């Protein structure tokens, strides 16, 4: 598990806790926590596999601001997680940062 001070270049700061574990059978489990409450507490989410639906993650973590969700999705992308962005018809899969205009954000990290 690691603590990341994610500053994607949009003027925001996201103190994140992140873990990527693989069991003996090769199954991956991911964990993300956003310490938005004075850097000591906040919503967390755990899932299996290399894919996550961002709307589902937002619901489980109680994130209502789509820009915050996109910033966290950008971080997940840098760690190899494919994020489905279901609320925008033109965004089918989050596999290339430049498709969403996040290429500059990724370079800043």
CB 32 within 8 A of CB 18: yes
Contacts of 53 (CB under 8 A, 6+ apart): 83, 84, 86
- Please report which helix (H) or strand (E) contains residue 1, including its range: none
Q: Which residues on adjacent β-strands are paired with residue 14?
A: 6
* Cα 59 to Cα 48: distance, rounded to the nearest angstrom: 17
**pLDDT in the model for residue 85:** 64
- Which two structure tokens, joined as six digits, stand for 56? 């589902």
**5: helix, coil or strand?**
strand
Cα–Cα dist 62/104, whole Å: 27
Question: What is residue 4's predicted lDDT score, i.e. its pLDDT?
Answer: 92
Round the average pLDDT of the chain to a whole number and report it.
78
Residue 101: per-residue pLDDT: 55
- Three-state DSSP state, 96: coil
Q: What DSSP designation does 94 have?
A: B
pLDDT tens track for 74-107:
888 888 887 776 555 444 444 444 455 555 554 5
Gap between the Cα atoms of 78 and 103, Å rounded: 11
Report the predicted TM-score, pTM, of the whole model to 2 decimal places: 0.73
């Amino acid at each position: 598990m690691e603590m990341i001070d994610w500053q994607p270049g949009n003027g925001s700061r996201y103190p994140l806790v992140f873990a990527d574990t693989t069991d003996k059978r090769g199954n991956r489990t991911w964990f993300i926590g956003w310490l938005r409450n004075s850097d000591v507490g906040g919503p967390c989410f755990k899932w299996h596999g290399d894919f996550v639906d961002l709307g589902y993650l937002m619901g489980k973590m109680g994130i209502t601001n789509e820009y915050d969700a996109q910033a966290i999705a950008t971080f997940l992308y840098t760690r190899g997680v494919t994020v489905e962005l279901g609320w925008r018809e033109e965004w089918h899969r989050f596999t290339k940062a430049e498709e969403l205009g996040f290429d500059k954000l990724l370079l800043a990290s």
